[in-house]
Structure 1
Amino acid sequence: MRRLSLSRLILSLVLLFTPLSELGALAQAAEPTPKATSYGIPASSQQLILVLTDSWQAIPAKLYRYQRASADASWSTAGQPIAAVVGRKGLGWGRGLHSPADTNGDYRVEFDKRAPAGIFALGTVFGLASESQARHWLGGLRMPYLELTESIRCIGDHDSQHYNTLVDIHQVKSDWRDAPNEKMREIAVTDEKAYQWGVFINHNLDANPQPRDKISGSCIFLHIWKTPDTGTAGCTAMTREHMVEIVRWLDQARHPVLVQLPRSEYTRLQAAWGLPVAN
């Protein structure tokens, strides 16, 4: 019999005695996103969300969905375009799967109210419902899912080792200041139900070719908007109905990615990034 390492033994015991309802929060630490080894849209990606704005400063956006059967296949549309909004100050380059050589160097920073431009993998889906309720209401769920209990936080303290991750404060040792962190369930219940449904955008993570830093921002999501004219603190938002539609569509096995750009940058980078034609 192969001997278990101490770390694997501890993880096995944690999983054995952790209630199933809490395993979703634990998954963020237990199963980190695999490290991307090259720039651009991964060949394995078969789902693409493209968000375009009229300028770097614009708040309104148009969201398009595409899918393909393989890396060699063309992108085809999936559903109708969706109205969306980005940051209150528009877009700024983020840290994701795109090459820094493709940017103008004007990167977004924490609290500047700009949503990240670039290419990003999409991660955990979250919501108020339990996982079983979510599967029932959605008619299925093909992404990792996290129920927003009272103890779920998105860590915004850049000095924490958990910076820019979703954690259950009862499952990990605290090394953060409380002030910069987001109480996810509270926002989902009180702030126009913005986080009733959402998706974690893998911006500024060590899994990206551009590794995580302390200034580029944290806790960036797709979520429900307040109004069609209200920009966000740095996320991309839409109606509840459209958010649910996207959650139903996303499939982890198809490695979905998000591309956000002003239309001028989309025109410049379309061929180089292998992006589909958007009207």
Structure 2
Amino acid sequence: MITRISRGALLAASFLLTGCGGGAVAATGHTTAQAAPSPSPSAAPVSAEAAPSQLPGVGPRMLARISPGTRQVVLVTGRGANSPRSTVGLYARTGTGWRAEANWPAHNALRGWSAHHMGGDLRSPIGVYTLSDAGGLLSDPGTKLPYDHGSGFVSPGTGFEGESLAGSFDYVVAIDYNRAPGTSPLDWTRPLGAARGGGIWFHVDHGGPTHGCVSIAESHMKELLRTLDPARHPVVVMGDADSLRH
């Protein structure tokens, strides 16, 4: 059994080895049964002909990775390949394309983006990933996603610019990069292996770059949580602007 002290130390170490969340602590309050690990970290590719259109700045190869059944997209557009700043847009699929519903400033990883993310590279992974699970230190603000409310969502220390990380994990949404969908964001399963990192989340912005996650203001995190609906098969499309337009 992991003690309170060792749990905190393990999670702190995971900041350096994986993504922001690290997934070091087993879930205790997840509201759905765990699913078997998936061999793929992202939504299954489909043909370009079946892919939706009209996501601004997103080219045919990225569009082809969005399932026809997806009705919600969170679009994270980085300012540059090596920039820690980005914009998060929320889109709903309609009969004629995609309707913009929100647009928020965001931070991503300190060193920008990578098409082959590795643990500790301080880059956010480029790609299309499902959004299956949420959680946080604070109680569920009203999401339809399975929500793990527990004390494991702690963020010790300070960020790259000396800012406090306290409260960063008050609300999180797990990005299904190298994780098992259907489990708590804190689950440690890594289908691609530990070297490929993990613990990539949306979480509350702390005012500086992240280790690999995408962070937005607390009010925007609550809005994101209340908007995402598993029945609409939400995904995140994420990367720097140049990578996304291909």
TM-score normalised by structure 2 residue count: 0.67
2:75 is paired with a residue whose SS is strand
CA distance in 2 between counterparts of 1:84 and 1:64 reads: 10
Partner residue, 1:77: 100
1:110 paired to 2:119: yes
1:264 is paired with a residue whose SS is helix
The Cα of 1:34 is off from its aligned counterpart by 6.8
Alignment counterpart, residue 196 of structure 1, candidates 170, 190, 212? 170
Q: Percent identity?
A: 23
Partner residue, 2:88: 63
**Structure 1: segments with no counterpart, 5+ residues:** 1-20, 94-106, 153-183, 269-279
CA offsets, 1:171-219, max 9 Å, x none? xxxxxxxxxxxxx23559x832000011011001367xxx523321111
The within-5 A match list for 1:81-230 is: 81-93=103-115, 107-130=116-139, 134=140, 138=141, 140-149=142-151, 152=152, 184-185=153-154, 187=156, 191-205=165-179, 212-227=192-207, 230=208
CA offsets, 1:145-175, max 9 Å, x none? 10123xx4xxxxxxxxxxxxxxxxxxxxxxx
1:185 is paired with a residue whose SS is coil
1:259 paired to 2:234: no
Preserved contact between residue 38 and residue 180 of structure 2 (Cα < 8 Å): no
CA offsets, 1:113-153, max 9 Å, x none? 111111010121111234xxx2xxx3x3211110123xx4x
CA offsets, 1:246-277, max 9 Å, x none? 11111111111001121112222xxxxxxxxx
Task: Kindly indicate which of the two structures has a greater share of residues assigned to helix.
Answer: 1
CA distance in 2 between counterparts of 1:221 and 1:87 reads: 11
How many residue pairs were aligned? 185
More RCO (CA 8 Å, sep 6+)? 2
CA distance in 2 between counterparts of 1:186 and 1:55 reads: 27
Query: What is the one-letter code of the residue matched to 1:24?
Result: H
**Structure 2: segments with no counterpart, 5+ residues:** 1-26, 46-64, 158-163, 182-190
Preserved contact between residue 108 and residue 116 of structure 1 (Cα < 8 Å): yes
Partner residue, 1:104: none
Preserved contact between residue 187 and residue 195 of structure 1 (Cα < 8 Å): no
- Structure with bigger gyration radius: 1
1:109 is paired with a residue whose SS is coil
CA distance in 2 between counterparts of 1:35 and 1:216 reads: 13
Preserved contact between residue 68 and residue 74 of structure 1 (Cα < 8 Å): yes
Q: What RMSD over aligned residues (CA atoms) do the two structures have, in Å?
A: 2.7
The Cα of 1:22 is off from its aligned counterpart by 4.6
